[in-house]
Structure 1
Amino acid sequence: MVDGPSETLSGAKRRLLLYLSAVAVLMLSYALLYQWGMATFEGRPVTFVEALHVVVETFTTTGYGEDASQWTTDAMKLITIPMMLSGVTVIFLTLPLFLVPLVEEALRTAPPTTTDRTGHVIVCTFTSRGDTLVEELESRDVPYVVVEEDRATAQRLSADGYEVVHGNPESVDTLEDANAAAAIALVADDDDETNASIILSAKQAAPDLRVISLIEDATLSDYHRYAGADEVVSPRRILGESLARKAASPIASDIDDAVEIGDDFEVAEMLVQRGSALEGDTIAESDIGRRTGVNIIGAWFRGEFVTPPDPDAVVDEHTILLVTGRERQLERLNALTRSETRRFSRGNVVIAGYGEVGATAADALVSGNVPSVVVDEREMPGVDVVGDVTDRQTLLSADIHEAQSIVLALDDDTTAIFATLVVKQVSPETEVIARANDAENIAKLYRAGAEYVLALSTVSGRILASNLTEEEVIAPQSQVEIVRTSAPQLAGQTLAEADVRARTNCTVIAVERDGDLLTEIGPEFVVRTDDTLVVAGTDDDINEFNAVCG
């Protein structure tokens, strides 16, 4: 989400009201003190209104009239001195702290309320998921417009260079101002109820407009389709299934976590377990290519993706290898990545959080015959242990010491980070497979000790981009983005001449040509105009690849 130091007008008004209330209390107190002082030290009783009049004159620096000549005693002068200083202080504080910001806010350029863009994607509204989508669209030169109801957010987006329309996305007039009739698609990305209203408004503003809706509760998908959505996407369900596969992969061979690119050719992320045959070896010492036949594309070292990995990089229990190969080759590597001490122990999987993501993960584990224990703060059907996952006793009640892994399917990233720290203290051998809601928190979860992290915003953005562009995202639920895409700028060049990896940090892992999948591609491979490249890299690197080679 976009953030910034600017304050909303309503917030500044509230603070100004509190400040003026404090000043009023101060002035009334001085009036009472002045009234008492005149009677006590000067022997000249005055009414409360007369005393208040003198205080107001003092605070506003408009003078004192004949009253100043009546202050003959030192005690009375000592009363009026702090009153004078307080008045000047109030004036100097009011101008810079409140009046100036209010004037600046009022004069600030209002965010746009219309656009003349055509052939664009309308994003309603701006979220971390939408931010990922916008980055994907920009890398493919697909125009977009963000419809944002919050004025301050719309202002910041506009100042940061986003194409934005300020207005209510549920309003037909706002969508018409966003030029819905000339758009190629609209993405409804708010809460489920608001999205249904947005869909109805979109179909009224532009009946032929393609509408894609993101939903949090997969059971509501039929309602969104009935409202008019052309496609309904449930990223939480996809994320839950992916986390379940990753958590169960060490103990269940029937839950396949590899991504099939072609006939008997797959891409897989392999977690290296503590106590495995590879732990402690460098990439060169492990000799993975010769021992298994796979090709190492890259590796995650404590949350940082490196491609290609340095031969001297040390593999540890936090390393995730990204490899390509045939099924039997991946099986040989899988055996090397598993713990020697826990290979024959099935163990179980603890699922923390029983929302949409956690429930989907639990269902996937049941389908794969993997035993699991569900933990949630709420008592409900399907929950085995009721309690706080950040509490040691709750983890012990869930038999965390017997768990091969724990899936943190929590709605709050801060809680997930703390839970990771607690799990690693209570049961260091248990692998932590975590959901991040915001991609910015992935690195924190890895530093806390998580073995595998996947962000909901990343999965959502990839799915949407794949739906809205010609590029196919093969595995939106993986840490590294894997896409099928064309690269016309590379036509006629060898891969060595194109130097794709150095220029974009991406790896071309296969090429589709004339209906065939070519996997044995070396530096001398020449790219043709009609080739479809299978490319792997981080989201930012894939965006760079599209900008350079697309």
Structure 2
Amino acid sequence: MKRSTRGLLYLAAILPVTLLLLASFYKLGMHYLEGSDRNFWASLEWAAETLTTIGYSDSSWHNPMMVLFVIGSQFMGVFLVFMVFPLYVLPFIEERFEARLPGTLPVMEGRRCVLVYRYGPAVAMLIDDLLRFGRHVVVFEEDPANARRLLERGFTVVHASLNDEHLDLSPLRDAEAIVANGEDHDNAALVFIARELGFQGPIYALVEDPLHRDLIVKAGADAVYTPRHVLAAALAAKAGGRIRGRVSGLQQLGSHVTVTEMRIHPESPLAGHTLAEVRMREHFGVSVLGQWLDGEFKAGVRGSARLEPGAIIVAIGSPQGIARLGEIATPLKQGGAIVVLGFGEVGQKIVELLHDAGERTTVIDVQPGPGVDVVGNALIQGTLERAGVRDASAVVLALSNDNEALFAASVIRSYAPQVPLIARVNQAQTVKRLYRVGTDFALSISQVAGPLLAHQLLGEKYVSLEPTVRVVKIDASSLVGQHPLAAGIRERSGALVVALERERQVLVEFGEDLRIVPGDTLFLCGGPDTLDACFDAFPALRPRSPARAP
């Protein structure tokens, strides 16, 4: 029985008892205090008039005790109308008008369905990609509030529990794939159940504890990822100069192409010059895809665009070229420790990777414990002073709450304007807000897990610069013999051809004599709608789902 229904039944039982007690007390009071008898029905009428606050036909009281009793009863009536009814009656009425949450799995046979167990930031971008590629997504959600929000947004949702012995899970055997995003033990249970029911498709799981990966694989999962650890690796690579060559992070597209964001430091020799003057393609083998301005990403920049101090550019090129550009654009301070704010799962992994690379760290956390160097609130200047933030080579925000990260970034940027500031977030839309307050690099869990799973399920390999802009790697075999810019991709779809990979060479400058040869790979930049238009115009370029080994 629902909570609102139980509450209404309790109210229906309590009201008559309250009415009878009030009528009885009134009858006795009128007899002994006022000396004026009232029969039972007159007393009951008075009690009902009092509780409903509609007024009296009987209002002749003289004894002070009786007057106080009447006043107390009147306040009780006001409380009943304005407090009890909204708490018990209105929720019941609202539930009657709300759409009921589906509690059974729909038929999945022949519908190219992908079952996603538990919704969260880690799978938000993946679901958008699946819908773009024509998949029908069914979200299995155990939390009723999340399930209702998803239903209101138009998602196909099933609100149920894996522990429900009466739940029929047999339809999932006809799903195209399963993505498990719940607690590790729930993910393992789902994998066991799916394989037990005869599901033959791929199962991908996201786990918190890397020690559980092998166990879930043995249960029947095809691949198990720890996106928070991948996120930690990308942030550590951005913060530590010694670790950059050892951890590719998220922004690697293949073996030889990297996409990265970097802020133009005020003391950088690039600051104040135009792209044409810097000649990045010639000097670094790097092409600029766009830049962040006032928290908004602007794709495509002209040679006359000036590299303003503090601006964030997005560049593509070889790892070596990107590293050379980064050393000039955002030089790291030498000698200072890397300050890590937050010592949760991501923070601990960041510190571990930095220590393995020989970097010094200072950890700030509100809770004392092994590995925490400074205990205190990072929003207080005294805590930042004790941690040596102004002398740090970089500051990494590893907080689990996006609002905390945004506020901390504002405080630290005000306190230490020149220190490189790197942040992790949960929601992709928070990235632009962090850039607006001065963060040098921000990465969301959605930007980590989305590309990993999209590559497995859809064959699309991409880097997400923000929710509406991405760089995609495609096979250029269908364009052999053509110049990369002469195929009409930009003219017919708006997508930009930004780089070409040939064996171990990355080309970002396309000479007139350049022609695509077998084995070449192109990199396109654009929003999801732009890329869809490109794949519609050039069907041979559309990524193919990887074949699953029997």
Q: Same fold (TM over 0.5)?
A: yes
Q: Which amino acid aligns with 2:137?
A: Y
For residue 92 of structure 1, report the CA deviation from its aligned partner: 9.4
| Whole-Å separation in 2 of the counterparts to 1:543 and 1:290 | 32
1:415 pairs with 2:407: no
For residue 245 of structure 1, report the CA deviation from its aligned partner: 1.0
Match 2:119 to one of 112, 117, 126: 126
Aligned residue number for residue 545 of structure 2: none
Aligned residue number for residue 148 of structure 1: 141
Match 1:482 to one of 471, 476, 492: 471
Match 1:213 to one of 199, 205, 217: 205
Aligned residue number for residue 107 of structure 2: 116
For residue 397 of structure 1, report the CA deviation from its aligned partner: 2.2
| Whole-Å separation in 2 of the counterparts to 1:167 and 1:12 | 20
Change in 2 beyond 3 A, CA 1:399/1:56: same
For residue 388 of structure 1, report the CA deviation from its aligned partner: 3.2
1:229 pairs with 2:184: no
Aligned residue number for residue 5 of structure 1: none
Q: Which amino acid aligns with 2:217?
A: R
| Whole-Å separation in 1 of the counterparts to 2:385 and 2:8 | 47
Aligned residue number for residue 353 of structure 1: 342
1:377 pairs with 2:366: yes
Match 1:242 to one of 230, 234, 237: 234
1:290-301 equivalent positions in 2, closer than 5 A = 292-301=284-293
Q: Which amino acid aligns with 1:132?
A: M
For residue 319 of structure 1, report the CA deviation from its aligned partner: 2.6
1:105 pairs with 2:98: no
| Whole-Å separation in 2 of the counterparts to 1:137 and 1:315 | 37
Change in 2 beyond 3 A, CA 1:170/1:302: farther
For residue 313 of structure 1, report the CA deviation from its aligned partner: 5.1
Aligned residue number for residue 428 of structure 1: 417
Q: Which amino acid aligns with 1:184?
A: E
Q: Quick check: 2:317–2:506 contact (8 Å CA) kept in 1? A: no
Q: Quick check: 1:172–1:201 contact (8 Å CA) kept in 2? A: no
What is the CA deviation profile of residues 369-412 of structure 1, one whole-angstrom value per residue up to 9, with x for unaligned ones?
Answer: 22222223344433333333333333222221210211111111
Change in 2 beyond 3 A, CA 1:151/1:299: same
Change in 2 beyond 3 A, CA 1:538/1:159: same
Q: Quick check: 1:495–1:527 contact (8 Å CA) kept in 2? A: no
Structure 1: unaligned runs, 5 residues or longer? 1-7
Q: Quick check: 1:495–1:524 contact (8 Å CA) kept in 2? A: no
Q: Which amino acid aligns with 1:217?
A: D
Change in 2 beyond 3 A, CA 1:486/1:264: closer
1:508-547 equivalent positions in 2, closer than 5 A = 508-511=497-500, 520-521=509-510, 533-537=522-526
| Whole-Å separation in 1 of the counterparts to 2:68 and 2:254 | 90
Match 2:48 to one of 41, 44, 56: 56
| Whole-Å separation in 2 of the counterparts to 1:11 and 1:487 | 59
1:427-446 equivalent positions in 2, closer than 5 A = 427-446=416-435
Q: Which amino acid aligns with 1:191?
A: E
Match 1:368 to one of 357, 377, 397: 357
For residue 352 of structure 1, report the CA deviation from its aligned partner: 1.7
1:160 pairs with 2:149: no
What is the CA deviation profile of residues 486-544 of structure 1, one whole-angstrom value per residue up to 9, with x for unaligned ones?
Answer: 6999999974674538845x432335689997755479989899985422346676567
Change in 2 beyond 3 A, CA 1:332/1:459: closer
Q: Quick check: 2:501–2:507 contact (8 Å CA) kept in 1? A: yes
Change in 2 beyond 3 A, CA 1:262/1:423: closer
Change in 2 beyond 3 A, CA 1:486/1:335: closer
C-alpha RMSD over aligned residues: 4.8
Aligned residue number for residue 4 of structure 1: none
How many equivalent residue pairs? 532
What is the CA deviation profile of residues 397-449 of structure 1, one whole-angstrom value per residue up to 9, with x for unaligned ones?
Answer: 22212102111111111221222122123322222100001223223322333
What is the CA deviation profile of residues 56-106 of structure 1, one whole-angstrom value per residue up to 9, with x for unaligned ones?
Answer: 255469998xxx478498x99999899899979977998888646523423
Aligned residue number for residue 187 of structure 2: 195
Match 2:490 to one of 474, 486, 500: 500
Aligned residue number for residue 3 of structure 1: none
Change in 2 beyond 3 A, CA 1:226/1:63: same
Q: Quick check: 1:145–1:164 contact (8 Å CA) kept in 2? A: yes
Q: Quick check: 2:341–2:396 contact (8 Å CA) kept in 1? A: yes
1:139 pairs with 2:129: no
For residue 205 of structure 1, report the CA deviation from its aligned partner: 2.2
Q: Which amino acid aligns with 2:120?
A: T
For residue 180 of structure 1, report the CA deviation from its aligned partner: 1.6
Q: Which amino acid aligns with 1:105?
A: E
Change in 2 beyond 3 A, CA 1:10/1:486: farther
Structure 2: unaligned runs, 5 residues or longer? 543-550
| Whole-Å separation in 2 of the counterparts to 1:72 and 1:330 | 90
| Whole-Å separation in 2 of the counterparts to 1:545 and 1:51 | 80
Change in 2 beyond 3 A, CA 1:367/1:482: farther
Q: Quick check: 1:238–1:477 contact (8 Å CA) kept in 2? A: no
| Whole-Å separation in 2 of the counterparts to 1:315 and 1:16 | 68
Q: Quick check: 1:132–1:461 contact (8 Å CA) kept in 2? A: yes
Aligned residue number for residue 278 of structure 1: 270
| Whole-Å separation in 2 of the counterparts to 1:502 and 1:352 | 47
SS in 2 for 1:273: coil
Q: Which amino acid aligns with 1:306?
A: K
For residue 289 of structure 1, report the CA deviation from its aligned partner: 4.5
| Whole-Å separation in 1 of the counterparts to 2:514 and 2:13 | 74
Aligned residue number for residue 334 of structure 1: 326
